[in-house]
Structure 1
Amino acid sequence: MARGKVQMKRIENLVHRQVTFCKRRAGLLKKAKELSILCDADVGVIIFSNNGKLYDLSTKGSMQGLVERYMKSAKKALVSDEKANQPSESEEEIATLKQEIQLLQKGLRYTFGGGSGNMTLEELDLLEKHLEVWIHSIRSTKMDIMFQEIQSLKNKEGILKAANDYLQGTIEEQCGVFNIPPTNPTGIPYQLTIPNEIFNF
């Protein structure tokens, strides 16, 4: 006689339920052992009966060690999923820049196109804050450039002063007289040789 198909629902008869539990539990544990042997897998099975009795099987090592391995693996998988779901810093930065560009473009259209209905009050406040930040950054960069140019001019001034002192000393040395203009009966200017490195700005 052919065996009928078992309906997947709770067995109401307590005796039949207990017999089915024992048979299927034994079959499940047997299949777990076979899987471990045939595939060299580390298999763990935990079963609680309807009255709370525990049945477990660990094919390699202890159940506690297997559970600890599971917890570590599950934690790593959870962290990996969270990282995958969270946008990277570069993506967040790109999104922020896109929003700023869109806001600036909208502000330019509003400025040159006119019309108060193009932008909301919140957008205007946000645009004002961005403009203040940009102006501060531009002014700061401008001051840095001006400071660098002033320092460069001061350096050139020092070089020119050193060259002037060198020329003055050379003239006084050739004339042999201090604080008296040299006389040159021929009217030809004195030929002075000055090292080139003095004028390397």
Structure 2
Amino acid sequence: MGRGKIEIKKIENSTNRQVTYSKRRSGIMKKANELTVLCDAEVSLLMFSSTHKLSEFCSESTNQKKIFDRYQQMTGINLWSAQYEKMQNTFNHLSQINRNLRREIKQRMGEELDGLDFNELRGLEQNLEEALKIVRGRKYHVIGTQTETYKKKVKNSEETNKNLLRDLVNIEMKDEHQVYGYIDDDPNSYEGGLALANGGSSMYEFRVQPSQPNLHGMGYGLHELRLA
């Protein structure tokens, strides 16, 4: 029993429509390849799905461009004239915009003003004044930012200088309270003690010994240097 005849109409269900397209696309691609091999024909096939996906086939002996060129020769239809005309119109439009911008730039520089009437000159003057306000505002903003940055640097330098001065004063005050004394080896010998300073919160003691051992017998004994 053969399959029933399928009514040819648009498939409303999008999923079923896509499945049917995929199956029949494979079938028509297969038929196009068979036609190329069996009949030595040059076949070109382009298809776009409802989701705008391109599928194409072209015989191995040619390419799409050659097919289109032969089509134009055989039919006399220029496939590119409309596109070329559109591109030419776009180019002319952009060229006009470029010329207008160049003329406006020159006029802002004080050139090509001869053809302007009073209203055009007044409008140009107002545009320049507005531009000048914007430039000045930006300049003052930059100056203000740099000034604040310099103020912060100066303040940091002053703080660093104050800290260094405070540390220096503390060091000098510590030096003033240190007392240095030269003490003889005999702690009971007053004559042998040479006090270089009086008072002091602490004393540091050093022992002084002659570098020549034979000097001990000549009265050069061990001595101590104390820092008080």
TM-score bracket for the superposition, by shorter chain length: 0.3 to 0.5
Higher relative contact order (CA 8 A, sep 6+): 2
When Rg is computed on C-alpha atoms for both structures, the one with the higher figure is 2
TM-score (structure 2 length as normaliser): 0.34
Q: Which structure's residues are more often helix, by fraction?
A: 1
